[in-house]
Structure 1
Amino acid sequence: MSLKLTNVTAGYRRHPVYRDLSLPAIAPGSLVAVVGPNAVGKSTLLKSLAGVLPARGSIALGGQELDCQSPGDRVRQIGYLPQPLPQAIPLVAYETVFSACRSARSDWNRRETERAIEAVFDTLGIRELALKRLSEMSGGQRQMVGLAQVLVRQTPLLLLDEPTSALDLHWQLNVLNAVRAATTDDRAIALVASHDLNLALRFCDQVLVLSPGGRAELGAPERVLTPGLLAATYGIEARIERCSRGHPIVLADNPLSAARPSV
């Protein structure tokens, strides 16, 4: 299922963040890094796609308009991880992931559900957290459980809002490897909002750069990430080079005093 946005306007009450935003179709199996400075609208875009915020225009997944689908159908199509961490409730991790799976995958029997839960716990490397209460977990551990709640449902569209924000580098790599596997194995589309350009570029197929003023640029990293775009978007002097494995990396040299994005 491809994802296509056409003339989308979204935001908060009388303050649209985007007006008539259109993007090229995103193909199944794509991992897209959503990047940009603070307050540029990364979370707003993901919330609009998830149906958390109202949006005007066309948002189509597999040719079907998302706003025409029932809430139940939308839950089966979209896995959304918001930026706030899961609450520190007294339920154990397995229970929360089981509930998330059953609410969206009523077509699975209990054995299929349990098999999917075991697989996602293994993929994320958090099997030891299965019987631990969320109220006893660190923020990073709760973030991993929240991601498990999303991935276990095997939806064709994943919207992940800074899924590595509370994690150290080891677990960041675990998360992005798991998301990469979901796009490869299940042919899902994943949009991952991140502030870490280089970590995002290490795993992504495409990058969606959101700039102040509602501008957006989507494409392959080597085409989109230019020194000029980084200067206009982030207010920095930067270079794009490649590491020893051929992955693009951004080397930031200096801030540009004439252009400072708001914090």
Structure 2
Amino acid sequence: MMKGLKIAAAALMLGVAGMAAAHAEEIKVGFSPEAYPPFYTQDASGKWGGWEVEIANAICGEAKLDCVLTPIPWDGLIPALKTKKIDAIMNSMSITEERKKEINFSSKYYNTPTVVIGAKDQKFDATPEGLKGKVLGVQVSTIHAAYAKKHFGDTAAEIKEYQTQDEANQDLAAGRLDATQADSIALGDFLASDAGKACCDLKGEVAPDDEVLGLGVGAGVRKEDTALQERLSAAIKAIRDNGKYAEITKKYFDFDIYGAASQAN
């Protein structure tokens, strides 16, 4: 991020060109230090990369911010923001009405569908009827957990919560779950892996629910930090307009994951 996105822990320093401009404002950007490919990935040396890291880097660079990427457990991100341990969140956090009661968001920087995947040898779809009697895994404190409880809570045999999506994927591959629900890109990446190919397939997109699923992913900021909110939103628009967003995106996807122009602008 900025002209040099830096991991807060020295061992995780992210090497990017053009490090910290002398007069750039430094802010701490929170992320959950877990693999969430292709948005967040970690190489053998401990460096973090991925689409969202590169997009955050571009946003911070455009906003002339020196952004220090700071690891915080997922369910601690909003509390850390509110207590000023971090200054922003850029970690695939969807803009929802429930979260907006506690924090504000920049404009969105991507919006992709929510899907359910499950064991290949089971035939069902991503509906309450399809998931009747199934054990469904979701990541704790996510929009997917909230959606599952609201729409599948009366029909699923169990909604099992995990600290990370990777743990849910592992249990699905091992046969301890019937299905899991998450972002389509993240689960698509799992289905393309050896474990995913062996065990599972796509069951379908869930029915829309903007109140729970939100209208896209944005950068979270404190309620009082309206200047930072506007600065980040302006930077998102700028990298969309100047082609930087498309340049980064084409390295990871063969489509524009920004979503419809009318959503969460």
TM-score > 0.5, shorter chain as reference:
no
- TM-score (ref. length: structure 2): 0.30
What TM-score results when the alignment is normalised by the length of structure 1?
0.30
